[in-house]
Amino acid sequence: MRKMMLVGRSESGKTTLTQALRGENLHYHKTQYINYHDVIIDTPGEYAQTKGLGRALALYSYEADVIGLLMSATEPYSLYPPCVTASANREVIGIITKCDHENANIAQAENWLRLAGCETIFPISSYTGEGIDKLLEYLSHDTQKIPERI
């Protein structure tokens, strides 16, 4: 399985998604530092929200095969600037969390992730399990292609 680093603002659902992907009971836990869980790297939201700490995300991304940009379906704005994925040297996917929330606006979150540069997007509910299997299946396949010989 490919290793994925989760990036997003505080309360976007990174740690809850980590628990759901690992089949754990869901409980609130504030991530204070970079946490390694088998093939998941869970990052604090402050790292994505603070310019100085954001540089650390670039360093930790070297340990991942895939970067998951999280966006809650309840977000009032996007944390990510347009085309931000172009600066990554890893595959970047979008993950829309809290899809089961009564105030969810999945279409808006998807538009913001596409504007950021995500081509592959997974709508997820860590509480109902919606989308978890599709994300796990995606991560279990090696999508890197061997270049053709010249």
The beta strands (E) that lie in 3-140 are given as: 4-7, 35-37, 40-42, 66-72, 91-97, 121-123
Extended strands (E) in the chain = 4-7, 35-37, 40-42, 66-72, 91-97, 121-123
Of 129 and 145, the structure prediction assigns the larger pLDDT to 129
- What pLDDT score was predicted for residue 108? 97
Higher pLDDT, 27 or 70: 70
At residue 105, φ and ψ (nearest 5 deg) are -125, 80
Write the pLDDT tens digit of every residue in 72-125. 999 999 988 899 888 888 899 999 999 999 999 999 999 999 999 999 999 999
Phi, psi of 85 (to 5 degrees): -70, -20
Give residue 31's pLDDT: 62
Q: Domain limits of the chain?
A: 4-115+132-140
Question: What CATH class does 4-115+132-140 carry?
Answer: alpha beta
Higher pLDDT, residue 70 or 19: 70
pTM of the model: 0.84
Q: Are 96 and 71 in contact (CB under 8 A)?
A: yes
